[in-house]
Chain A
Amino acid sequence: MVRNINFDLYEGEIVGIAGLMGAGRTETTRAIFGIDPKESGEIILDGKTITINKPLDAIQAGIVLAPEDRKKDGLCTKLSVRDNISLPNLDILCNALSIVDRKKEKSMSEKAVSDLKIKLPTTEVDAGSLSGGNQQKVVVAKWLARNSRVVIFDEPTRGIDVAAKVEIYNLMNELKEQGIGVLFVSSEMPEVMGISDRIIVMCDGKVTGEMPTNEATQDSILMYATKFDKKIDAVKA
């Protein structure tokens, strides 16, 4: 349950959402993306209020999400990399009769693989057979073919090697340069402070703090991250 979430995201900036586990960050991203129902609230994009009741609405409005658990929510591991990349893009790849243009599909997946430098023998291999870092790239690659306005990353570098991490950071910066609003949830403080322009901190389902990154310190973030409504009493000795 998250409540009183109010924040703005500007074009061409990276906003990091920090907080402890259970703070409600993933829930927030899921609510924005339309996976979980909202009781109340508005999402305003480019000045217009948009209704998001399911992920398809968000995708069509230009808001996309790379989820926290890539194996469970992000990829169909037994389908090919190509199938995974084209799945949310079938509206672009199909003609009026809903027939998939296989040539277009092939070039879309090959472009995605080369743009993100995904290491694989061919795009036909099972998505689940790739390394963690390459899997994460496929999860993101799905969205790059679309003209998205907002890209949300939930724990994008969890469980991937350092080289791949760097590539993901570079990707986020490229998106920022293209004028896309990047929102990313992370539990790694150095990462949040290293790459974002602004930091939002959540605690116990609420936004407790917001600051430009150049003014943030690990302590201040931690302070906001632990700002519970009720004081947690220390255990009596």
Chain B
Amino acid sequence: MKKRLLGALLCAAMVGTMLAGCGGSSDKAADTSASGVSASGASTSAPAADKNFKVYLITMDQMDQYWVNVDAGAKKAAAELGNVDYKWSAPDVKDDAKQIECINNAVADKADAILLAANGPDAVTAALKEAQAAGVKIVYVDSAAKFDGEATFATDNTAAGKTAGEQMKKALEAAGKTSGKIGIINVNAATASCVARETGFRSAFEGSNFEILATQYGEGDAAKSKDIAANYITSGVVGIFGANEGSTVGAGNAIQEAGGEVIGVGFDKSDTILSLIKDGFLLATMAQNPDVMGEKGVKAAVDALQGKSLGGAVTDTGVSVITKADVK
């Protein structure tokens, strides 16, 4: 009699834990190396037949508004699909080693797929190999690594850089200038996306009489970039290109201070950049579509997890050229 009761109790306990495990789990705070606000994704508590897919978004850091937009797009897709446990994780600063840690932690946390914006295309390949060996599907957003993934959703930075260059050239020619010096403010020599933008920008000026000076690096810091831009202006440049948000803000501020003659073109969107455009101190900025990357990335990850073969397709999520006419 006693034995039977014990047996029944044990069975009840087992069934109980199984049911609890199936129901969607609420997410804990995401993995970060230092204090930082992180978003936890929507999850469903569907006792459905398929289990939920655990999808991790790992970006370069959590500070840039840009990554927040990727996360927003990803969250949107996760909510629409309904079968995704979504988490956003990133290091506190742009750092290869820290991003590798995030990837490893995601794998240890039994992620089914990882959406990655690779900080260093070579550095993370070993970690990705391990992840893939553990069965994790890899999708790239914004910056791919040198390792085959299911799909990539990114801005074709080279094309976008070229567009920026063409915008500047057009405006210079309209102002009657066919030659002169142009300065580039980039982040550093390592970030692949920014390097690609610069390459694209330079290609727009090939064969022209414009001289593009040696690139200066401002680490993406708006104040440092402003100093660099001011120095360019003192050297008599006719145009300045900022390869990311901070560089663009710096360029715009310097152009404003100098009276607005120099043509400035930049990358990324932010409140300050938009007001600089509105006031006429920046000609245009290339606004990327980070939310599209996040959204399409999550959808692709789920497709891959459901067996679809994406073949590593690269999708250009494009840039919109934002000029004064576009800013209300």
CB atoms of A and B under 8 A apart anywhere in the complex?
no
Give me the interface of B with A, judged by CB distance under 8 Å: none
Give me the interface of A with B, judged by CB distance under 8 Å: none
